[in-house]
Amino acid sequence: MVDKFSLEQLLSAEIQNEKDRGKTMKLLFEGWRKYLDEKVFADYSDGKKNKWVDLPTDELENDPDNIDITDEIYDMIEKSYAKIGGNVDIRSASDMPSDYDKWLAVDVDDDPEPDAVRGAKTKPAGIKMTVGASDGGSEGIKAYKEKTAELLSTEGNYGELSDAIAHVMIKYHNVPFVDNEEDVRKVLGKDIEWIGPHPEGKYPNHPGWYKRKLGGSIHMKILLGRPKGVNVVQP
């Protein structure tokens, strides 16, 4: 039991390898977290599995002195966006929650930590899904993809998607999209370079591609989902 360990005993324990070190630190954290006014995901999920939980935005402000739910969520974001140089808005835990006012997370495996997360912003056209991540495990990735498809098929939810996640949503979930430049500009309120059909001939049933600048780079995207106030096409 954790209560049998004192802080001094844990800190002075001989740690044989990286796995033991991780177990020791987890014992240390779990044994002393109850004395801190900090919450982790398990405090919101009540230990329930496969249930997406709404997270209060004000609880996602980073406390550098403690390990809490902010660190758990940021850890997934950092890992998921590492290959593309990081998330444009959230570069560190101190950037949380940025201007995202909707957060959902889920636990789908044996441990109590979250395995997938979705962050969004409230906009005139509805809820714009803007950040998504998983812990990298197969169960977490599956949960992330399925929730993304579910939300994109729900009235008032939408997102600008590209690359792998756009491919998955179009090919395997056939989600709706916005097919014309005027409506895309209306929803985004941003400057775009309209393309239309995919320049490589991919996804012929989704001719709604465009380019726009994000984080200093040009990205090709498509507006998927069901934003309010514009025409939406269901292939």
pLDDT tens column, 180-217: 999 999 999 999 999 999 999 999 999 999 999 987 88
- Encoded amino acid at 1, one letter: M
pLDDT tens column, 52-72: 999 999 889 877 777 899 999
The DSSP symbol for 51 reads -
- How are the residues of the chain apportioned to helix, strand and coil, as percentages rounded to the nearest 5? 35, 20, 45
pTM for this structure?
Answer: 0.81
| φ/ψ bin of 96: left (φ > 0), alpha (ψ from -120 to 50), beta (otherwise) | beta
Q: Residue 220 to residues 43, 67, 125, 146, 198: CA-CA distances in angstroms?
A: 39, 36, 21, 23, 9
Q: Residue 87 to residues 3, 26, 56, 74, 90: CA-CA distances in angstroms?
A: 39, 27, 21, 10, 5
pLDDT tens column, 61-109: 877 777 899 999 999 999 999 988 888 889 999 999 989 999 999 999 9
